[in-house]
Structure 1
């Protein structure tokens, strides 16, 4: 992909950057990835004249376009001010609905107590959602056995179909700890399913680093080398597909592709393995109901290899990603940008980025032949 294809705009520009040339390039790349993996190829090439009736459809259905409130956390938590920028749940959610978002993923349930003279309740948040035609599609809560039923109570009050966390099931590098986490999550996932919800975990890049599962052992009897299996993919294999689901953070997936490329095998030899976020999902697409549609510009001078941008303003090819994984009605895309808040100097920045990111998400399209 050349520079012109990767960078057709600069962060903050209001116009969508998804040109026909970029879409067609993405389509060709997606077909190559699918074909190499033995997966079905979606048809999104330029329609040929006289070759049937072609329609253009949104790649991410309107009802599945969401936002995690962490992206606008500065305005959710803001005290009443004279900036003219919305603050608190009632005003911010109304603005997000005006922008076009249909779904909300929560990152906590608190706002500034001065708005109501007390803390808002889940029942009051649910009314705000309903009044604005919004649906709660998930949350980043603390998932543990002691408080899980209380978290399910809140999720049920808010009408969620998914309940999750922004943390890994374990921070360990060792197989035994991931085995224990899988046992716990299978049980909690069963409890969630009993209440008609799906339990999910959200990744950062470390989750796709290599598991330490091979000898020799250290002084504590722990493995020091790897078979080349990645931690979260091991967890996927150990958990029951009926009970445990995943939210791919696409940005952190590409950071993992950049950072976690080498491991030392049991014989002490260095091996290279490149992580592919697209194929990780495409091979088990129904285990990923949710995504963080988080974009970034490639910058290899940075430790992570990318720096975050509004959606559609970076180098990550969302057209290729969502086209390749298929199942558009099943998948829900939540825009996220950790760095969206502009602070006191620009209190409206996070909501401005939310507007730009929604427009770029809506402009992702696919051709179909009827």
Structure 2
């Protein structure tokens, strides 16, 4: 972990002092980005404390956790508090959100999270209207309980398959429009909107008040998308080196209701790509 820690610092320093990343004009993304725990899933599972030290050294102060990594929520919260890091969102599986809502809500509150997020609707084959209808009913139920009992905001994270055509739009439109905005919000995953052929910036503009969170990630150049909701993790690349128009998406996001911006990099190259992504974000200007 110490070697990886030094690698992060060296790369961050080098990129931060590279004239290629020199700023001109008003910064587009002046804040420090947050981080999705899944990016560091292997190292967090091995040594959560040391990994959080590395994240702190990168300036990360905001995280979304999709696992407790074998710890209690209280133990994980203690490690976070000791490093001045907050867990603003807690990701769980669909079944737990639906069937263990009280436990999920309690853990989220202990972590200090404001949001609870689900990122996958279990399904076989193509996503259908019937599936979307059940999803809407379940999400409204989950969201109401989390809001009424715990004061938490429930969010659904798109994963690509929801963009099947439906009437004049998609089933993602159906889910957004049929869920109750008092109880259900959304987390935009840039890559998983782009991958099935959608425009992430246009989606934000269409629903400026529904998205509260965003996963910032980029797709390797040359990779063709589809409706599967899956692609090899090696296709996650550092922001600004892939196919997505990151500045345009961020400009739309800045004018929306999005509160938290998390880096997510599922690739095995995250040790080099995360510092590159942070440097890229700092380089962006209007």
Instruction: Tell whether the structures are fold-level matches, with TM greater than 0.5.
Output: yes
- Displacement of 1:236 after TM fit? 0.5
Q: Secondary structure at the match of 2:255?
A: coil
What residue in structure 1 maps to residue 42 of structure 2?
A: 74
Higher helix share: 2
Is 1:282 aligned to 2:205, yes or no?
A: yes
CA distance in 2 between counterparts of 1:182 and 1:102 reads 33
3-state SS in 2 of match to 1:286:
coil
**Greater Cα shift, 164-173 or 352-361:** 164-173
Partner residue in 1 for 2:7: none
> Quick one: distance in 2 between partners of 1:355 and 1:20?
12
Matched, 1:152 2:75: no
Q: In 1, distance between residues paired with 2:73 and 2:20?
A: 42
CA deviations on 1:267-320 (whole Å, 9 max, x unpaired) are xxxxxxxx3221111121221111110012321567669932122322322111
Instruction: Specify which of 249, 274, 279 is matched with residue 354 of structure 1.
Output: 274
Instruction: Decide whether the 8 Å contact of 1:294 with 1:308 is kept in 2.
Output: yes
1:139 aligns with 2:90: yes
Match of 1:96 in 2: 55
How has the CA–CA distance of structure 1 residues 228 and 330 changed in structure 2, closer, same or farther, with 3 Å as cutoff? closer
1:4-30 CA distances to partner (integer Å, 9 max, x unpaired)?
Answer: xxxxxxxx9953799699x9xxxxxxx
Deviation digits for residues 107-136 of structure 1 (CA, Å, limit 9, x no counterpart): 2111xxxxxxxx422111111111111111
Q: Report how many residues are paired.
A: 265
2:136 is aligned with 1:174: no
| Native 8 Å contact 2:87 2:113 kept in 1 | yes
Segments of structure 1 that go 5 or more residues without pairing to the other structure are: 1-11, 24-45, 47-54, 79-87, 111-118, 212-226, 258-274, 342-348
Write the distance in 1 (CA, Å) between the matches of 2:224 and 2:163. Answer: 21
2:235 aligned counterpart, secondary structure:
strand
* 1:292 maps to 2:215: yes
- Give RMSD over aligned pairs: 3.0
Q: TM-score, normalised by structure 1?
A: 0.64
Mapping for residues 1-40 of structure 1, pairs under 5 Å: 15=15
Q: TM-score, normalised by structure 2?
A: 0.81
Provide the rounded CA distance (Å) in 2 between the counterparts of 1:201 and 1:149: 18
Could you tell me whether the CA contact under 8 Å between 1:278 and 1:325 is conserved in 2? yes
| Higher Cα Rg, which structure | 1
CA gap 1:160/1:96 in 2 versus in 1, 3 angstroms: same
